[in-house]
Structures are given as C-alpha cells and as structure tokens.
C-alpha cells in the first residue's frame, strides 16, 4: 500500500469565517479559469483542482460541471 | 507480571467506555483542546454561580424566616439607599467581567488559524443518515472516498454495542492531526455534534460550514444529530474513530482500493 500523503486545501485568509461556501466556489472558478486560459490541464493547475475537490461536495462539483457543459454556469469563467 | 497492555486488553472487554456512566451529570471526558477549554470555562463560571446562588438563597431564606407578625410586627419602610444601590450594580459588573475574560479568551482562541489542516472531511447530512467524503486523495472529479453512515438498528446490535449510537461505517480520522470538517446538508437542516470533541456545527443546505478539530488521543467518540430534521432525527448518530497515522493511511488505501473495484 502506498503511503497516503496528508495534504489538503490550506486555510485561505480571504475566507476567515465559518462559512466556506464562497471559498469552495472561488477555488472551482479559479481552476477552470486557468484551464480556459492555458488551454489544457497542466501539473501546475492540478494543485488548484485538488483544492476545490477537497472543499466542495461531490454533488456540487457534478452540478457545476454539467452547467459548464450546458453553458449555464453562473460563475465568472 | 504481564505487561500493562495485557491488563488493559483484558479489562477492555467488560469495562464500559471510560467516557460515560449511568445517570451521568457532567460532561464526557474531553478529547480535544477546545472541549477541555469549554470544561475549564464551565468550572470558572460555576464557581461564581455557586457564590451567587448561596447569597440569593440566604437573602430569600432570611426574608421568609423574619416575616412573622409576632417576632417582627413593624416592617421597615426603606425606599432609597444610594450606597447600596451603587454596590449592587458595581459588584455584579465585576463578576461579569471575571466571567467574560476566560469566555472571550476561549471564543477567540477557537477561531485562530495557527496551523493549516492536514485532512479535510466533508459531512453531508441527509434524511436520515450522514455521508462522509474524503476527497483529498482524488485525482479526478469522479473518484472519491465516499460512504454513507447509517445507525445500526436495535435488532442488529451485538453484545456490548450502544443503542441508538452505533453506525455501520465510522468516520475514521488520524489522531493528533489538524482536521478541517466541512458540514453541509443535502435536504433539510441537521447538525453534526460530538460532545467529547466539543464540536457542534449546523448542516445547512447550500452552505459549507467549517469547523476545526484536533483529537488528542485515539479512541471512539459518539454524537447525535442536533437539529430536528424529521421523523428519524434521533436515529442518525455520528461515530468518530481516531486512530494512529499509519492505521489511517492503511484504512484510506483499503477504502480507495475497494471503491475502485
């Protein structure tokens, strides 16, 4: 069994309070903005992908992915 | 003589969990610094509470005792008393200050971010069970260590298990590690509470509430849903099992293997 590395999204000072909804959304938007700008998913970008996956519930990510595919995603991509 | 671990292992089989007793009045043993802080604050406040209680009871008993037509026929008719009025305003404010100081110290220390968390676990409330997601190990949007945690019904309990508290899949976490819990709900309001860890966090649909935990010792910690959520609100408990780092790593690897098969 490979050793599991204990790393997760760091505490973000832009979101110091209990409500982390915006934190998860911002990380998701940041990653996809980078991907759209750079054109493809590089290792550099994957770090950001890990952040939003750690924070956001799977259901939310699925819903947002669907919305992006349909062109109805409400965020600033 | 056998090593101490032998006696512990033997006693473990028939001792109750050392956290709880029948007809218990006080808190469960603390397993996190926050809970220890809450217990200490409680002791601080309780001291002043007893002082005030004794004083008020004494006033009350004294008044009742002396209210007697034969022994005290002439009542006092006092309406003003500036000095005493000042005293009984200043004195309680001082007591409040002594209570507020440790209280605010604890409150603000709970908010401080000193160390980045090492693990993020999402707890999603449903009617009437919890889903736990450990997504730190994903390499894509799809795979995730996710599982549901249902209460074990009374008929399925084994000897020694706790009624209304045991679950089929426990939340396994590493001890002595900073955890970030993200609590949310998929339907109605719930609340993720584990008293011995000093944690209670509302699960609100559409909102991610964050709480930090540092469990100081390995063990099993029980809690119950703490926000009314329908008919089985009392039957969706929470069990956190804190294990050493290596055991946690093994458990995560096993779960990931199983889920990918």
Q: What pLDDT tens digit does each residue of chain B (261 aa) get? A: 555 555 544 444 443 455 788 899 999 999 999 999 999 999 999 999 999 999 999 999 999 999 999 999 998 888 999 999 999 999 999 999 999 999 999 999 988 877 899 999 999 999 999 999 999 988 787 777 999 999 999 999 999 999 999 999 999 999 999 999 999 999 999 999 999 999 999 999 999 999 999 999 999 999 999 999 999 999 999 999 999 999 999 999 999 888 777
CB contacts of A11 in chain B (<8 Å) are: 113, 116-117, 180
H or E, element range at A25: helix A21-38
C-alpha to C-alpha distance for B234 and B128, rounded to whole angstroms: 9
Question: What region does A39 belong to: left with phi over 0, alpha with psi -120 to 50, or beta?
Answer: left
C-alpha to C-alpha distance for B196 and B1, rounded to whole angstroms: 34
CB contacts of B180 in chain A (<8 Å) are: 8-9, 11
Model pTM?
0.88
C-alpha to C-alpha distance for B183 and B209, rounded to whole angstroms: 5
Mutate one of A54, A55, A56, A64 to test the B interface: name it (highest B CB count within 10 A). Answer: A54
C-alpha to C-alpha distance for A76 and B95, rounded to whole angstroms: 53
Q: A37 — contact with chain B (CB < 8 Å)?
A: no
Sign of the torsion formed by the C-alpha atoms of B245, B249, B251 and B252? positive
SS3 (DSSP) at B211: strand
Instruction: Name which of B120, B186, B245 is nearest A54 (Cβ-Cβ).
Output: B120
Q: B255 — contact with chain A (CB < 8 Å)?
A: no
Other C-beta atoms closer than 10 Å to the C-beta of B66 total 9
Q: Under a CB-based contact definition with an 8 Å cutoff, are residues B227 and B59 in contact? A: no
C-alpha to C-alpha distance for B244 and A6, rounded to whole angstroms: 13
């Amino acid at each position: 069994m490979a050793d599991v590395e204990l790393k997760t999204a760091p505490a973000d000072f832009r979101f110091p309070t209990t409500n982390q909804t915006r934190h998860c959304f911002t990380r998701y938007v940041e990653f996809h903005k980078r991907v759209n700008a750079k054109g493809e998913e590089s290792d550099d970008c994957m770090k950001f992908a890990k952040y939003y996956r750690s924070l956001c519930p799977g259901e939310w990510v699925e819903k947002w992915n669907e919305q992006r595919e349909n062109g109805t995603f409400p965020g600033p991509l | 003589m056998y090593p101490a671990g032998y006696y512990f292992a033997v006693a473990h089989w028939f001792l109750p969990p050392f956290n709880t007793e029948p007809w218990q009045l006080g808190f469960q043993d603390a397993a996190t610094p926050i809970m220890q802080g809450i217990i200490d604050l409680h002791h601080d406040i309780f001291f002043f509470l007893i002082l005030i209680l004794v004083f008020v009871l004494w006033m009350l008993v004294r008044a009742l005792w002396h209210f007697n037509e034969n022994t005290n026929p002439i009542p006092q008719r006092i309406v003003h008393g500036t000095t005493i009025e000042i005293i009984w305003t200043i004195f309680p404010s001082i007591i409040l200050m002594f209570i507020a100081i440790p209280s605010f110290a604890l409150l603000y220390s709970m908010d401080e971010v000193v160390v980045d968390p090492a693990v993020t676990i999402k707890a999603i409330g449903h009617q009437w069970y919890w889903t736990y997601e450990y997504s730190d190990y994903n390499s894509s949007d799809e795979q995730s260590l996710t599982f549901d945690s249902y209460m074990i019904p009374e008929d399925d309990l084994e000897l020694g298990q706790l009624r209304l508290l045991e679950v089929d899949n426990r939340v396994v976490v590493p001890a002595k590690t900073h955890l970030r819990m993200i609590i949310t709900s998929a339907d109605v309001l719930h609340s993720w509470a584990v008293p011995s860890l000093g944690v209670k966090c509302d699960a609100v649909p559409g909102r991610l509430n964050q709480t930090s935990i540092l469990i100081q010792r390995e063990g099993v910690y029980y809690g119950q849903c703490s926000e009314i959520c329908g008919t089985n609100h009392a039957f969706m408990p929470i069990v956190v099992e804190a294990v050493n780092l290596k055991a946690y790593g093994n458990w995560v690897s096993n779960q990931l293997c199983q889920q990918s098969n």
